[in-house]
Amino acid sequence: MKAKVLFLCTGNSARSQIAEGLLRALADEHFEVFSAGTEPKGSILPEVQEAMREIGIDISGQWSKSVTEYLGKTHFAHVITVCADAEENCPAVFLNMGTHEHFPFDDPAKADEEQRLELTRHVRDQIEQRLRLWLTEKNIIPTDHRQM
């Protein structure tokens, strides 16, 4: 059975969506990957979809959802917060599950429209680098999704 991983942020419109798509591309055979927000925006930023498409990852099947969808229903082996707000507001039930880690990244949703795609690309690359390190720490060789 694959370990379940939850990426948690505030709006579930950028960072956690990027992390979900990337981990699925890098290690789908090892993990069942989810993302959620403490205050979901209800949609994924178009810049996030574009930045992921640029590296060959289609996240069109993902959607913005609330962390409450999983409360009391799913046990996660790993809960990873990707923003300070989610770290502070993470429901305690998740902190008592498996491993809890915090990987803070800038929020593309807070960037000006002119700068948003550029910041999204930067954050995407930072998240990928951090996830590759995390997988290496777990002795998992990431799939090279950019060759797909």
The catalytic residue positions are 9, 83, 90
d(CA 116, CA 101): 26
Structure-block tokens of residue 123: 């954050």
DSSP of 51-86, one letter per residue?
A: HHHHTT---TT----BGGGTTTT---SEEEE-SHHH
Name the strands in the sheet holding 78-81, side by side, starting at the edge strand that comes first in the sequence: 31-37, 3-9, 78-81, 99-102
**Going by C-beta distance under 8 Å and a sequence separation of 6 or more, which residues neighbour residue 107?**
9, 10, 11, 14, 15, 83
For 101, how many CA atoms within 13 A lie in the half-sphere containing its CB? Answer: 12
